[in-house]
Amino acid sequence: MKKKFAFVVCTILLVSPISAIACSMYKVTQDGKTVVGNNEDFTTPNAQFIFEKSIGENNGVMYMSFLNEFIQGAVNDKGLMFDGFYEPLLEVKNTKGKEDIYIGDALQLVMKTMSTCEEAKEYLETINLSVLESGQIVFVDRSGTFLIIEGDVMILGDDPQKSFSNFYYSQTENLDDVDIGFYQKGRQFLNSSEPTSSLDYCSEVMQNFSQSGIASTQYSTLYDLEMNKIRIHLFQDYGNYIELDLAAELKKGNRKIMIPELFPPESIGHSYYSKYNNVEHPTILLEELLEEHDGNEKDLFENGIHNIIIDLGEEWIYDIKNPVGAINVFNYGIELMPSNSDLHYYLGKSYAENKEWENAIMYYKLALVMNPNDPDAGRRIKEAEKMMGNNK
Protein backbone atom coordinates (compact mmCIF):
# COMPACT_ATOMS: atom_id res chain seq x y z
CA MET A 1 0.00 0.00 0.00
CA LYS A 2 1.36 3.39 -0.95
CA LYS A 3 2.35 5.54 2.02
CA LYS A 4 0.81 9.00 1.85
CA PHE A 5 2.14 11.96 3.75
CA ALA A 6 0.39 15.21 4.38
CA PHE A 7 2.30 18.38 3.54
CA VAL A 8 2.33 21.60 5.47
CA VAL A 9 4.46 24.67 5.07
CA CYS A 10 6.21 26.01 8.12
CA THR A 11 3.36 28.14 9.38
CA ILE A 12 2.85 31.34 11.27
CA LEU A 13 -0.04 30.83 13.68
CA LEU A 14 0.37 34.26 15.16
CA VAL A 15 2.54 37.32 14.98
CA SER A 16 2.78 38.93 18.36
CA PRO A 17 5.09 40.53 20.92
CA ILE A 18 5.42 37.10 22.55
CA SER A 19 6.34 34.94 19.58
CA ALA A 20 6.11 34.32 15.89
CA ILE A 21 6.11 30.88 14.37
CA ALA A 22 8.22 31.02 11.25
CA CYS A 23 11.17 29.37 9.52
CA SER A 24 14.44 30.30 7.90
CA MET A 25 16.79 28.76 5.37
CA TYR A 26 20.19 29.58 3.89
CA LYS A 27 22.33 28.11 1.11
CA VAL A 28 25.96 28.73 0.20
CA THR A 29 27.91 27.38 -2.78
CA GLN A 30 31.69 27.66 -3.07
CA ASP A 31 34.18 25.69 -5.15
CA GLY A 32 31.43 23.40 -6.39
CA LYS A 33 30.20 22.48 -2.91
CA THR A 34 26.73 23.41 -1.62
CA VAL A 35 25.66 23.48 2.02
CA VAL A 36 22.13 24.33 3.15
CA GLY A 37 20.81 25.16 6.61
CA ASN A 38 17.21 25.17 7.78
CA ASN A 39 15.57 26.20 11.07
CA GLU A 40 12.26 24.61 12.01
CA ASP A 41 10.50 27.01 14.36
CA PHE A 42 7.35 25.73 16.05
CA THR A 43 5.66 25.16 19.39
CA THR A 44 6.25 21.41 19.71
CA PRO A 45 9.55 19.54 20.03
CA ASN A 46 7.93 16.28 18.89
CA ALA A 47 9.81 16.21 15.61
CA GLN A 48 10.89 13.14 13.67
CA PHE A 49 12.85 11.95 10.68
CA ILE A 50 11.09 9.53 8.35
CA PHE A 51 13.42 7.45 6.18
CA GLU A 52 12.27 5.81 2.95
CA LYS A 53 14.94 3.69 1.28
CA SER A 54 15.54 3.59 -2.44
CA ILE A 55 13.43 1.03 -4.33
CA GLY A 56 14.30 0.28 -7.93
CA GLU A 57 15.14 3.52 -9.69
CA ASN A 58 13.59 5.67 -6.96
CA ASN A 59 15.73 7.90 -4.78
CA GLY A 60 16.08 7.31 -1.08
CA VAL A 61 14.53 10.16 0.93
CA MET A 62 14.65 11.50 4.49
CA TYR A 63 11.56 13.52 5.40
CA MET A 64 11.18 15.85 8.38
CA SER A 65 7.85 15.98 10.20
CA PHE A 66 6.15 16.25 13.55
CA LEU A 67 4.01 13.49 15.09
CA ASN A 68 1.16 14.21 12.72
CA GLU A 69 3.44 13.28 9.77
CA PHE A 70 2.82 16.57 8.01
CA ILE A 71 6.03 16.88 6.02
CA GLN A 72 8.03 20.02 6.78
CA GLY A 73 10.86 19.33 4.34
CA ALA A 74 12.98 16.58 2.83
CA VAL A 75 16.35 15.67 1.34
CA ASN A 76 17.13 12.82 -1.06
CA ASP A 77 20.27 10.86 -1.83
CA LYS A 78 20.76 12.72 -5.11
CA GLY A 79 21.42 15.98 -3.28
CA LEU A 80 18.02 17.66 -3.70
CA MET A 81 16.25 19.20 -0.70
CA PHE A 82 13.22 21.40 -0.05
CA ASP A 83 11.50 23.29 2.71
CA GLY A 84 8.18 25.14 2.90
CA PHE A 85 7.28 28.58 4.25
CA TYR A 86 4.06 30.28 5.23
CA GLU A 87 3.58 33.59 3.41
CA PRO A 88 1.01 36.40 3.20
CA LEU A 89 -1.94 35.72 0.91
CA LEU A 90 -1.00 35.94 -2.77
CA GLU A 91 -3.66 34.77 -5.20
CA VAL A 92 -2.70 31.96 -7.58
CA LYS A 93 -4.36 32.59 -10.94
CA ASN A 94 -2.49 30.35 -13.36
CA THR A 95 -4.43 27.11 -12.84
CA LYS A 96 -6.19 26.51 -16.16
CA GLY A 97 -5.23 23.20 -17.73
CA LYS A 98 -3.00 22.27 -14.79
CA GLU A 99 -3.14 18.84 -13.17
CA ASP A 100 -5.06 18.66 -9.89
CA ILE A 101 -2.91 16.59 -7.58
CA TYR A 102 -2.46 16.70 -3.84
CA ILE A 103 0.66 18.77 -3.17
CA GLY A 104 2.07 16.15 -0.79
CA ASP A 105 1.92 13.52 -3.54
CA ALA A 106 3.52 15.91 -6.02
CA LEU A 107 6.40 16.67 -3.65
CA GLN A 108 6.93 13.00 -2.89
CA LEU A 109 7.15 12.30 -6.62
CA VAL A 110 9.77 15.05 -7.00
CA MET A 111 11.87 13.78 -4.11
CA LYS A 112 11.66 10.13 -5.19
CA THR A 113 12.36 10.62 -8.88
CA MET A 114 14.28 13.87 -9.42
CA SER A 115 17.69 15.31 -8.57
CA THR A 116 17.74 18.89 -9.89
CA CYS A 117 15.77 22.10 -9.45
CA GLU A 118 15.28 22.29 -13.22
CA GLU A 119 13.51 18.91 -13.21
CA ALA A 120 11.34 19.95 -10.27
CA LYS A 121 10.40 23.21 -12.00
CA GLU A 122 9.50 21.50 -15.27
CA TYR A 123 7.19 19.08 -13.45
CA LEU A 124 5.63 21.52 -10.97
CA GLU A 125 4.78 23.95 -13.78
CA THR A 126 2.19 21.36 -14.88
CA ILE A 127 0.52 21.21 -11.43
CA ASN A 128 -2.33 23.33 -10.04
CA LEU A 129 -0.52 25.10 -7.20
CA SER A 130 -3.47 27.09 -5.85
CA VAL A 131 -2.76 25.52 -2.44
CA LEU A 132 0.29 27.80 -2.29
CA GLU A 133 -1.68 31.04 -2.17
CA SER A 134 -0.38 31.44 1.41
CA GLY A 135 2.90 29.63 1.07
CA GLN A 136 6.00 28.93 -0.93
CA ILE A 137 8.38 26.03 -1.44
CA VAL A 138 12.13 26.36 -1.87
CA PHE A 139 14.31 23.66 -3.45
CA VAL A 140 18.12 23.57 -3.53
CA ASP A 141 20.14 20.96 -5.42
CA ARG A 142 23.73 19.71 -5.26
CA SER A 143 24.93 22.14 -7.95
CA GLY A 144 23.81 25.12 -5.86
CA THR A 145 20.82 25.96 -8.01
CA PHE A 146 17.74 27.03 -6.06
CA LEU A 147 14.07 27.12 -7.06
CA ILE A 148 11.54 29.36 -5.31
CA ILE A 149 7.92 28.42 -5.99
CA GLU A 150 5.38 31.11 -5.12
CA GLY A 151 2.35 29.59 -6.85
CA ASP A 152 2.25 31.50 -10.15
CA VAL A 153 5.87 32.61 -9.89
CA MET A 154 8.87 30.28 -10.09
CA ILE A 155 12.33 31.76 -9.60
CA LEU A 156 15.34 29.71 -10.65
CA GLY A 157 18.74 31.02 -9.57
CA ASP A 158 22.31 30.11 -8.73
CA ASP A 159 23.49 32.95 -6.45
CA PRO A 160 26.45 31.75 -4.33
CA GLN A 161 24.51 32.78 -1.21
CA LYS A 162 20.74 33.01 -0.70
CA SER A 163 18.59 33.31 2.41
CA PHE A 164 14.89 32.56 2.69
CA SER A 165 12.10 33.14 5.19
CA ASN A 166 8.43 34.12 5.37
CA PHE A 167 8.37 36.65 2.54
CA TYR A 168 8.05 36.60 -1.25
CA TYR A 169 11.10 37.50 -3.29
CA SER A 170 8.81 38.44 -6.19
CA GLN A 171 7.13 41.05 -3.98
CA THR A 172 10.32 42.37 -2.32
CA GLU A 173 12.44 45.09 -3.89
CA ASN A 174 14.87 45.46 -1.00
CA LEU A 175 15.64 42.84 1.66
CA ASP A 176 16.16 45.64 4.17
CA ASP A 177 12.38 46.17 4.03
CA VAL A 178 11.52 42.62 5.17
CA ASP A 179 9.82 43.13 8.55
CA ILE A 180 10.98 39.92 10.24
CA GLY A 181 13.27 40.53 13.20
CA PHE A 182 15.08 37.18 13.31
CA TYR A 183 15.61 37.29 9.55
CA GLN A 184 17.26 40.71 9.73
CA LYS A 185 19.42 39.51 12.62
CA GLY A 186 20.60 36.62 10.46
CA ARG A 187 21.30 38.96 7.55
CA GLN A 188 23.43 41.16 9.77
CA PHE A 189 25.62 38.15 10.51
CA LEU A 190 25.83 37.27 6.83
CA ASN A 191 26.83 40.82 5.91
CA SER A 192 29.59 40.89 8.53
CA SER A 193 31.10 37.42 7.99
CA GLU A 194 33.17 35.62 5.37
CA PRO A 195 31.11 32.72 3.96
CA THR A 196 32.44 29.21 3.50
CA SER A 197 30.61 26.17 2.20
CA SER A 198 31.06 24.28 5.43
CA LEU A 199 28.74 22.84 8.05
CA ASP A 200 30.50 24.87 10.73
CA TYR A 201 29.82 28.18 8.99
CA CYS A 202 26.25 27.19 8.20
CA SER A 203 25.74 26.34 11.89
CA GLU A 204 26.76 29.89 12.80
CA VAL A 205 24.34 31.27 10.22
CA MET A 206 21.40 29.26 11.52
CA GLN A 207 22.24 30.23 15.09
CA ASN A 208 21.83 33.86 14.06
CA PHE A 209 18.51 33.10 12.34
CA SER A 210 17.17 31.13 15.34
CA GLN A 211 14.32 32.10 17.67
CA SER A 212 13.44 31.46 21.31
CA GLY A 213 10.20 31.77 23.28
CA ILE A 214 6.90 29.95 22.85
CA ALA A 215 7.61 29.27 19.18
CA SER A 216 11.30 28.38 19.37
CA THR A 217 13.67 26.92 16.84
CA GLN A 218 13.04 23.29 17.69
CA TYR A 219 15.81 21.93 15.49
CA SER A 220 18.23 23.04 12.81
CA THR A 221 19.20 20.72 9.96
CA LEU A 222 22.29 21.34 7.85
CA TYR A 223 22.97 19.48 4.63
CA ASP A 224 26.24 18.92 2.80
CA LEU A 225 24.54 18.06 -0.50
CA GLU A 226 27.74 16.76 -2.08
CA MET A 227 28.68 14.31 0.67
CA ASN A 228 25.11 13.56 1.83
CA LYS A 229 26.03 14.51 5.38
CA ILE A 230 23.41 15.92 7.73
CA ARG A 231 24.14 17.84 10.91
CA ILE A 232 21.37 18.42 13.48
CA HIS A 233 21.27 20.96 16.31
CA LEU A 234 18.48 20.55 18.83
CA PHE A 235 16.62 23.44 20.45
CA GLN A 236 19.11 26.23 19.69
CA ASP A 237 22.01 24.30 21.27
CA TYR A 238 24.63 25.20 18.67
CA GLY A 239 27.52 23.99 20.80
CA ASN A 240 26.37 20.38 20.35
CA TYR A 241 25.14 18.38 17.42
CA ILE A 242 24.84 14.94 15.88
CA GLU A 243 25.70 14.04 12.31
CA LEU A 244 24.12 11.46 10.04
CA ASP A 245 25.37 9.85 6.86
CA LEU A 246 22.26 9.79 4.67
CA ALA A 247 23.34 6.77 2.61
CA ALA A 248 24.09 4.75 5.74
CA GLU A 249 20.79 5.73 7.36
CA LEU A 250 18.78 4.79 4.27
CA LYS A 251 20.44 1.38 4.13
CA LYS A 252 18.87 0.63 7.52
CA GLY A 253 15.44 0.58 5.85
CA ASN A 254 12.18 2.43 6.23
CA ARG A 255 11.75 3.78 9.73
CA LYS A 256 11.01 6.79 11.93
CA ILE A 257 13.27 8.39 14.53
CA MET A 258 12.22 11.05 17.03
CA ILE A 259 14.85 13.75 16.60
CA PRO A 260 15.24 14.60 20.34
CA GLU A 261 15.89 10.92 21.09
CA LEU A 262 19.06 11.06 19.01
CA PHE A 263 20.52 13.32 21.71
CA PRO A 264 21.65 12.49 25.26
CA PRO A 265 18.93 12.76 27.95
CA GLU A 266 20.91 15.47 29.73
CA SER A 267 21.08 17.70 26.64
CA ILE A 268 19.12 20.95 26.59
CA GLY A 269 16.85 19.85 23.76
CA HIS A 270 16.10 16.41 25.14
CA SER A 271 15.30 17.91 28.55
CA TYR A 272 12.88 20.34 26.89
CA TYR A 273 11.31 17.45 24.97
CA SER A 274 10.83 15.42 28.16
CA LYS A 275 9.29 18.35 29.99
CA TYR A 276 6.94 19.12 27.08
CA ASN A 277 5.68 15.53 27.13
CA ASN A 278 5.24 15.39 30.92
CA VAL A 279 2.11 13.26 31.38
CA GLU A 280 1.64 14.40 34.98
CA HIS A 281 2.01 18.10 34.16
CA PRO A 282 1.45 18.71 30.43
CA THR A 283 1.22 22.51 30.81
CA ILE A 284 4.47 22.99 32.71
CA LEU A 285 6.38 24.59 29.84
CA LEU A 286 3.51 26.88 28.92
CA GLU A 287 3.21 27.96 32.54
CA GLU A 288 6.91 28.76 32.68
CA LEU A 289 6.82 30.73 29.45
CA LEU A 290 3.80 32.76 30.61
CA GLU A 291 4.79 33.25 34.24
CA GLU A 292 5.75 36.89 33.69
CA HIS A 293 2.58 37.73 31.78
CA ASP A 294 0.11 39.92 33.68
CA GLY A 295 -2.77 37.53 32.93
CA ASN A 296 -4.94 40.05 31.08
CA GLU A 297 -7.28 37.92 28.96
CA LYS A 298 -7.53 40.51 26.19
CA ASP A 299 -3.75 40.65 25.86
CA LEU A 300 -3.51 36.87 25.86
CA PHE A 301 -6.09 36.68 23.09
CA GLU A 302 -4.40 39.38 20.99
CA ASN A 303 -1.11 37.52 21.39
CA GLY A 304 -2.75 34.36 20.08
CA ILE A 305 -2.16 32.30 23.22
CA HIS A 306 -5.49 30.54 22.76
CA ASN A 307 -4.18 29.18 19.43
CA ILE A 308 -1.04 27.90 21.12
CA ILE A 309 -3.15 26.19 23.79
CA ILE A 310 -5.43 24.63 21.16
CA ASP A 311 -2.44 23.29 19.22
CA LEU A 312 -0.94 21.84 22.39
CA GLY A 313 -4.23 20.26 23.46
CA GLU A 314 -4.95 18.78 20.05
CA GLU A 315 -1.48 17.28 19.97
CA TRP A 316 -2.24 15.53 23.26
CA ILE A 317 -5.54 14.24 21.83
CA TYR A 318 -4.56 13.09 18.37
CA ASP A 319 -0.79 12.65 18.25
CA ILE A 320 0.22 11.72 21.79
CA LYS A 321 -3.19 10.01 22.11
CA ASN A 322 -3.73 11.06 25.70
CA PRO A 323 -7.07 12.89 26.13
CA VAL A 324 -6.47 13.29 29.87
CA GLY A 325 -3.42 15.38 29.03
CA ALA A 326 -5.60 17.45 26.70
CA ILE A 327 -8.19 17.94 29.46
CA ASN A 328 -5.46 19.34 31.69
CA VAL A 329 -4.26 21.65 28.91
CA PHE A 330 -7.70 23.10 28.18
CA ASN A 331 -8.62 23.46 31.84
CA TYR A 332 -5.44 25.51 32.24
CA GLY A 333 -6.39 27.53 29.18
CA ILE A 334 -9.81 28.33 30.59
CA GLU A 335 -8.21 29.48 33.86
CA LEU A 336 -6.24 31.99 31.79
CA MET A 337 -9.02 32.89 29.37
CA PRO A 338 -12.43 32.09 30.95
CA SER A 339 -14.39 33.91 28.25
CA ASN A 340 -12.88 32.06 25.29
CA SER A 341 -15.52 29.91 23.58
CA ASP A 342 -12.98 27.92 21.55
CA LEU A 343 -11.18 26.68 24.67
CA HIS A 344 -14.52 25.55 26.15
CA TYR A 345 -15.35 23.77 22.89
CA TYR A 346 -12.01 21.95 22.82
CA LEU A 347 -12.31 20.99 26.47
CA GLY A 348 -15.66 19.43 25.56
CA LYS A 349 -13.95 17.65 22.69
CA SER A 350 -11.25 16.33 25.04
CA TYR A 351 -13.85 14.98 27.45
CA ALA A 352 -15.66 13.35 24.52
CA GLU A 353 -12.42 11.66 23.41
CA ASN A 354 -12.14 10.33 26.97
CA LYS A 355 -15.80 9.20 26.84
CA GLU A 356 -16.81 11.51 29.68
CA TRP A 357 -20.05 12.45 27.98
CA GLU A 358 -21.65 14.59 30.70
CA ASN A 359 -18.60 16.83 30.96
CA ALA A 360 -18.35 16.97 27.17
CA ILE A 361 -21.97 18.15 26.89
CA MET A 362 -21.48 20.74 29.64
CA TYR A 363 -18.51 22.38 27.95
CA TYR A 364 -20.01 22.20 24.48
CA LYS A 365 -23.06 24.01 25.86
CA LEU A 366 -20.89 26.64 27.52
CA ALA A 367 -19.10 27.17 24.22
CA LEU A 368 -22.44 27.58 22.47
CA VAL A 369 -23.63 30.13 25.04
CA MET A 370 -20.45 32.15 24.53
CA ASN A 371 -20.66 31.83 20.74
CA PRO A 372 -24.23 31.08 19.51
CA ASN A 373 -22.90 31.06 15.94
CA ASP A 374 -20.55 28.16 16.59
CA PRO A 375 -21.27 25.86 13.61
CA ASP A 376 -20.10 22.69 15.33
CA ALA A 377 -20.97 22.80 19.04
CA GLY A 378 -24.66 21.99 18.56
CA ARG A 379 -23.85 18.92 16.47
CA ARG A 380 -21.30 17.76 19.02
CA ILE A 381 -23.86 18.07 21.83
CA LYS A 382 -26.26 15.79 19.96
CA GLU A 383 -23.50 13.26 19.30
CA ALA A 384 -22.44 13.23 22.96
CA GLU A 385 -26.06 12.88 24.14
CA LYS A 386 -26.50 9.94 21.80
CA MET A 387 -23.30 8.27 23.04
CA MET A 388 -24.30 8.86 26.65
CA GLY A 389 -27.69 7.27 25.97
CA ASN A 390 -26.08 4.28 24.30
CA ASN A 391 -23.88 3.69 27.32
CA LYS A 392 -26.67 3.71 29.93
Question: What whole-number distance in Å separates Cα of residue 19 and Cα of residue 235?
Answer: 15
Tell me what pLDDT residue 1 has: 30
Domain boundaries, the chain: 6-265, 278-390
Residue 292: what pLDDT? 73
Residue 241: predicted pLDDT: 97
Q: What pLDDT score was predicted for residue 215?
A: 81
What is the per-residue pLDDT across 64-73, written as a single tens digit (0 to 9) for each?
999 988 888 9
The third-level CATH classification (topology) of the domain covering 6-265 is Penicillin V Acylase; Chain A (3.60.60)
The percent of residues in the chain predicted with pLDDT above 70, rounded, is: 94
pLDDT bin (cut points 50, 70, 90) of residue 271 is very high
At residue 8, the pLDDT reads: 43
9-33, pLDDT tens digit by residue? 443 332 232 233 468 999 999 999 9
Per-residue model confidence as pLDDT tens digits over 284-312:
999 988 887 777 899 999 888 999 999 99
Backbone angles phi, psi at 209, to 5 degrees: -90, -5
State the average pLDDT over residues 144-164.
Answer: 96
pLDDT at residue 2, as a whole number: 32
Assigned fold of 278-390: 1.25.40
pLDDT of residue 320: 95
